[in-house]
Amino acid sequence: MTKQNEASWVESMKALSPTSSTSLPATDYQASWILHHPSALSMFEHIINASKGKEIVMFLDYDGTLTPIVEDPDQAFMSDAMRAEVKNVARYFPTAIVSGRCTNKVYSFVQLAGLYYAGSHGMDIKGPANGYKYKNGNPAVLIQPASEFLPMIEEVYKALVEKTKSTPGAKVENNKFCVSVHFRCVEEKVLEIRPTIKWDKGKALEFLLESLGLADCNDVLALYIGDDLTDEDAFKVLRDRGQGFGILVSKIPKDTSASYSLQEPCNGLFAPVGGVEETDYKRAFQGLNNRRNYPHPSKRRQEENVEIQGELHVYQRWATTNKDSRRVTSLDPSNSFSCKYFTSFFLA
């Protein structure tokens, strides 16, 4: 990759990048955004009230939600305190971790049995087999809708490792049913290659609700907490179905289908601060629902896709470690520069 290519690619991606388009001054926009997406902490009582008499189901994204964003993806460890909080939540409610990472990786970070894990953006869903018994200590596979893509993804992974090995700051991550390529050399950015199947975190959420026998119930309240554009699919599903609330983790206003917001990764919610006492939280949740033996499972802001060889999509995200702007953009099929760039760089 030449410096010139890299620089013009950056410019091209910036031009394509979604903006917080508004004519309002920044502070007014922020204030108006927070009115529409109030802090989940300040709305805690409201959420609790809305869940009265309902089955709460928790969906939690991993990176940026249960852990802060860090530079090295292999070092995104979950704190013991957060693990304890998630474990506590999962004692009372069916709880799923929904992540772009492969299920095994996210499971190795979270290390909690009894949860559902929807890795590879929901393309690899595993969960407790026979209630809480894991087969050979591992979660059981519930669905892998992209399994036929495995050999292709493996091939793409190897090709990307080979192609990027001399690129400083590049790191290729095998997320089993998709591949992430992190670049640190110019700005922090991530390319993601995924199968073209119609499956995303929203579909994973629907699948899990159905598996739990809760899809068509009025008495379910699902909460989905996430920070990423890919979480918007799940926020939208919840909004469209009227079965719960999305909570967006973001310091800055963003277009979102989430109802509420959190400024920081979830330790703000699970270890309550800002006026909600821990005892209130536990009492509220404990009083709400003690159902433990739940059944064993038998228009987002569209990311534009690039079809590569008809079977893979390429997405591009921009991220900023621990800072306030986590920009997300995508390769656009109508942008010939992007397509050509990808094709020539990775697949030539």
Q: Which residues contact 2 (CB under 8 A, 6 or more apart)?
A: none
Stretch that binds ligand L263DTV3, among 22-30, 99-107, 129-137, 154-162 (CB under 6 A): 99-107
Q: In this complex, which beta carbon is closest to ligand L263DTV3, that of residue 190 or of residue 314? A: 190
Q: Tell me how far CA of residue 93 lies from CA of 256, 277, 289, in angstroms.
A: 25, 20, 8
**Shortest distance, CB of residue 197 to ligand L263DTV3, whole angstroms?**
17
Cα gap 328→303, rounded to integer Å: 9
**Shortest distance, CB of residue 309 to ligand L263DTV3, whole angstroms?**
21
Judge whether 301 and 18 are in contact, CB under 8 Å: yes
Q: Under the criterion CB under 6 A, does residue 232 sit at the interface with ligand L263DTV3?
A: no
Which one of 56, 76, 222, 249 is in contact with ligand L263DTV3 (CB under 6 A)? 76
Q: In this complex, which beta carbon is closest to ligand L263DTV3, that of residue 232 or of residue 332? A: 232
Max CA pair span of the chain: 61
Residue span 269-298 as binding mask against ligand L263DTV3, x where in contact by CB under 6 A, dash where not? ------------------------------
Q: Under the criterion CB under 6 A, does residue 180 sit at the interface with ligand L263DTV3?
A: yes
Q: Which residue is nearest to ligand L263DTV3 (CB)?
A: 100
Q: Under the criterion CB under 6 A, does residue 64 sit at the interface with ligand L263DTV3?
A: yes
Cα gap 118→105, rounded to integer Å: 11
- Identify residues 202-231 at the interface with ligand L263DTV3 (CB under 6 A): 228, 230
Q: Under the criterion CB under 6 A, does residue 233 sit at the interface with ligand L263DTV3?
A: no
Q: Under the criterion CB under 6 A, does residue 319 sit at the interface with ligand L263DTV3?
A: yes
# chain residues binding ligand L263DTV3, by CB under 6 A: 22
Which one of 48, 51, 57, 63 is in contact with ligand L263DTV3 (CB under 6 A)? 63
Q: Under the criterion CB under 6 A, does residue 69 sit at the interface with ligand L263DTV3?
A: yes
Helix residue ranges per DSSP H, the chain? 3-16, 26-36, 44-50, 80-92, 103-110, 150-164, 201-211, 232-241, 267-270, 278-288, 336-342
Stretch that binds ligand L263DTV3, among 95-103, 248-256, 271-279, 334-342 (CB under 6 A): 95-103
Judge whether 161 and 172 are in contact, CB under 8 Å: yes
Measured in whole angstroms, the distance separating CA 58 from the mean position of its chain's CA atoms is 13
**Shortest distance, CB of residue 73 to ligand L263DTV3, whole angstroms?**
3
Q: Under the criterion CB under 6 A, does residue 176 sit at the interface with ligand L263DTV3?
A: no
Q: Under the criterion CB under 6 A, does residue 200 sit at the interface with ligand L263DTV3?
A: no
**Shortest distance, CB of residue 36 to ligand L263DTV3, whole angstroms?**
23
Place of tokens 């939540």: 89
Q: Under the criterion CB under 6 A, does residue 315 sit at the interface with ligand L263DTV3?
A: no
The pairs formed by 241-245 with CB atoms below 8 angstroms and a separation of 24 or more are 243/209, 243/217, 244/57, 244/220, 245/40, 245/47, 245/50, 245/221
Which tokens go with 238?
């919840």
Q: Is 179 helix (H, G, I), strand (E, B) or coil?
A: strand
Q: How many CB atoms sit inside 10 A of residue 18's CB?
A: 14
Q: Under the criterion CB under 6 A, does residue 61 sit at the interface with ligand L263DTV3?
A: yes
Q: Under the criterion CB under 6 A, does residue 56 sit at the interface with ligand L263DTV3?
A: no
Judge whether 346 and 160 are in contact, CB under 8 Å: yes
Q: Which residues contact 41 (CB under 8 A, 6 or more apart)?
A: 262, 268, 269, 272, 273, 274, 275, 276
Contact residues for ligand L263DTV3, defined by CB under 6 A: 61-64, 69-71, 73, 76, 99-101, 173, 175, 180, 182, 188, 190, 192, 228, 230, 319
